[in-house]
Structure 1
Amino acid sequence: MMPRIFIAVDIPQLHQERIFEIQNKFSTFKLKQVKQSHLHITMKFLGEVKESTVQNVLESLSSLNMAGFDASIGQLGLFPKKSSPKVLWVGADGSFTELHDAIENSLNKITFPKDDKEFIPHITISRIKHLSKTEKKDFLSIYGKLKNIHIGNMRVNTVKLKKSILTPSGPIYETIHEFELQ
């Protein structure tokens, strides 16, 4: 079986705990909460790739030329839109777009196409299964009260190439390699 890989920035334990508190505010709804230990910012999802391709990705990312940066975690958001929410997320503010572009340029050399959609740095915290009209109204009310929340600041010094192993009880993430930013 080919590994399913992605590139991510992990977030500090303290921020994970604060996000867990936010998730609990939505616990009465039919949501699939992301495990606290799985909270991260996906920089690029590569999908299922051959082992030889994993090596090429490692080599490409080793030449990543990007300085570490300060970031702020906060502000709730919804994908695809507020009127039909499917994903609840927390935003990430900092040089994430520049980091994403550097990763894209690095991987473009080994034929990974650039993403079509605009990159929005975020941490997925819940997937929304189904909300009745009443539930949606209640959900959006809680969302509105928490929308402008500030989780905290962090320093981004590394990006990680991770493997996702799908199991019946949810994914298991393993770090394949950690890349230091300059």
Structure 2
Amino acid sequence: MPRLFAGLEIPPEIRLQLSGFRGGLPGARWVDPDNYHMTLRFIGDIDEPTAHDVLSILGGRRQRDPIAVTFDALDSFGGARPHAVFARAVPTSDLNDLQAEIERLVRKAGLPPEKRKFFPHVTLARLKSGSARDVAGYIATSGHFPKLSFMADRFVLFSSRGTTGGGPYVVEAAYPLA
């Protein structure tokens, strides 16, 4: 049973710049830069026939232009009990429209709706025991976060291992934006 998700690949030059923020946070498990991605829709563990349906139905999406993606800050999920540090992406109508279309298509394949609100980001580290104070200190001392931009010219269907942290991720199918 494959574990699947639709997402955007992060270009090597952006991965390199994001990897410069690794380190300096107690209790962090840093994501390997080769596994940086932006999840558009987590699909989860599904059977082979449903995986085939998802792969096929995503091919039927409407044509659209490449999408500009910009990361503009470091942030964290979890508030007083942080569980991840990430690079935040600026939400744009083009990015939100692509995500919403993928959501609609995946639901047509018979999968339940995603419960979490889409928040564009790239996870840099996962935390089991990090404190809010440590995370705030890390973000404050990480220095200026430069705006990092690229044009996404495709989205992909990734598969992952069913383990904590997921990677390495494998591109099962690519869907051009052109």
Q: What TM-score, normalized to structure 2?
A: 0.88
Aligned to 2:174: 178
How many pairs are equivalent?
175
Aligned to 2:138: 142
Residue among 32, 40, 43 paired with 2:40: 43
Residue among 63, 66, 69 paired with 1:71: 69
Q: Equivalent residue of 2:128, what SS?
A: strand
Report which stretch shifted further, 142-151 or 62-71. Answer: 142-151
Aligned to 1:90: 87
Q: Is the 8 A contact 1:90 1:122 kept in 2?
A: yes
Shift of 1:18: 1.2
Runs of 4 or more off by more than 3 Å in structure 1?
145-148, 166-170
Q: Report sequence identity in percent.
A: 22
Aligned to 1:56: 53
Aligned to 2:115: 116
Shift of 1:154: 0.3
Residue among 26, 30, 34 paired with 2:31: 34
More strand by share: 1
Shift of 1:87: 0.7
C-alpha spacing 1:147/1:78, structure 2 compared with 1 (3 Å): farther
Shift of 1:114: 2.1
Q: Is the 8 A contact 1:76 1:147 kept in 2?
A: no
For each residue in 1:128-169, what CA deviation from the matched residue of structure 2 results, as whole angstroms up to 9, or x when unmatched? Answer: 12136xxx4343122134486124110011011011024699
Q: Does 1:24 align with 2:18?
A: no
2-structure distance, mates of 1:71, 1:78: 19
Gap regions ≥5 residues in structure 2: none
Shift of 1:99: 1.1
Letter in 1 for 2:72: G
Q: Equivalent residue of 1:46, what SS?
A: strand
2-structure distance, mates of 1:101, 1:148: 32
Q: Does 1:10 align with 2:9?
A: yes
2-structure distance, mates of 1:146, 1:169: 23
Shift of 1:15: 1.1
Gap regions ≥5 residues in structure 1: none
1-structure distance, mates of 2:122, 2:172: 20
1-structure distance, mates of 2:127, 2:165: 18
